[in-house]
Structure 1
Amino acid sequence: MALCGRGTITAIRRALIFQNTFSPPISLDRHFCSTKNKKPLDTKLNFSLSSDSDDDQDSNTHMTKRPLPPPYDPFSKKPAIQEPKDPKDLQEIFHNMRNGDGLFNHAVKMFDALSKEGLTHEALELLGQIKDKGHMPDVVAHTAILEAYADAAQPKEALKVYMRMLACGVSPNAYTYAVLVKGLASDGKYAKEASKYMLEMMDKGMRPNAETYTSLFERLVREERLHEAARLLEQMKEKGFVPDHKAVHQALSAKRGPVFRILINLLFGS
């Protein structure tokens, strides 16, 4: 699907900002499903689960007006939001999610990624949920926690969050899968799981971008699991995958040496 025009994206961005500007602060707690009568999954940082009365109290929170960020530019290579100074400081990251613009910033990041990948429908769907329902979609909250663990090099915890997300009935989108695959690919112990979710992503009609699939293939090459990498590539091609030469070289622009050469040869046979 082609990326929508700059004017359309700018209008969407402003609408998203407008919604946030006149909305009460977002509570992270409400985005995690109730674990009543279910065995909760273990995570290193637990988030209290709110009751209906908590939601009512949140809805009456005083609304504060926030200054508007610069207009959205779909052609900018700058990050959609400022990344945390220390991605391994989970306590600070989770604290920031629960206060102020925390989850809104993650929604902007997800919206930005989906738009730049040409997934206009998913981006608009995300916006529609925020505007029509007046609260942050569950997929944003779960993906934000998943990404925090992935960036902190804790793939085991990231996978637990993903499993909890599914148990809550929340459907991952293309950005969620990208975060999950790259997070799992950071550790050779989870490369098999990363391959599994890459294929699952494609089974749902979502295509991984070059940054996502190169991260996994690079891990397999570094682990000298070339047979496994070749098999994965074959399975992906059976689902219609064609590696993008230009995008791969951009994703690997800082890479050199034997790993880079083997990876290019694996993907393009040259």
Structure 2
Amino acid sequence: MEDTTSLPSSSADDLKKHVMRIFKEATKDCEEDTVLKRMFVSIRDYDNLNKHAIQIFFVLTESGLADETKELFKPRPESGILTDVAVFTIVIWAYTYANKTGAALKVYYQMIAAGVAPTSCTYTILIISLATHSSSDVNFVRYAKKYFLEM
């Protein structure tokens, strides 16, 4: 996923720093969950985030979301660096995987507030999270329907 040969190293480094700022902002509220905190703390730099993205790419692809996953993880054309939507979706997926649907929804709102448009993979992960955990909050079903129509 990473090929930075087409950019000067300072531009690639700036993009990596930008991506890591997004990641840190999206994961700042995980303090109460020790599993997520441990996972997010292990992603200390862009290379670790990229390795984690590759693992998620394969998990999602094997889950039947091949086309959606390819769309999500299509790197920035000029640099090969992960896109903002990919970073937000990775965090949404992590919260979903940890059964933290409210936190996943909060990250989705952060993404929208930052002006980042979700991909079909982002919607799919969010809808699955909302629909799967709807028994804990009846509003989750309403949100799942809303995002399905939005998608």
Q: Give TM-score scaled by structure 2 length.
A: 0.67
1:179-198 Cα offsets, whole Å, 9 max, x none, are 10111123221122112111
Which residue matches 2:52? 105
CA separation of 1:124 and 1:91: change in aligned 2, threshold 3 A: closer
1:139 to partner: Cα distance = 0.9
1:174 is matched with which residue? 120
Q: Residue in 1 aligned with 2:79?
A: 133
Note the residue ranges of structure 2 that are not aligned, 5 or more in a row: none
What residue number does 2:93 align with?
147
4+ runs of 1 displaced by more than 6 Å?
none
Of all paired residues, the percent bearing the same amino acid is: 26
1:162 maps to a residue whose letter is Y
Matched, 1:160 2:106: yes
Change over 3 Å in CA distance of 1:45–1:112 after alignment to 2: closer
CA positional deviation for 1:162: 0.2
Residue identity in the other structure for 2:52: N
Q: 1:88–1:196: structure 2 CA closer, same or farther, 3 Å change rule?
A: farther
Normalised by the length of structure 1, the TM-score is 0.40
Post-superposition CA distance 1:56-86 (Å, at most 9, x none): xxxxxxxxxxxxxxxxxxxxxxxxxxxxxxx
Provide the aligned length of Structure 1 versus Structure 2. Answer: 135
Answer 1 or 2: which has greater helix percent.
2
Distance apart, 1:138 and its partner CA: 0.4
- Which structure is richer in relative contact order (CA contacts within 8 A, separation 6 or more)? 2
Tell me, yes or no, if the aligned pair for 2:72 and 2:121 is still in contact at 8 Å: no
Cα shift at 1:140 = 1.3
Amino acid at match of 1:197: Y
Unpaired runs of 5+ residues, structure 1, are 1-15, 35-40, 47-86, 202-270
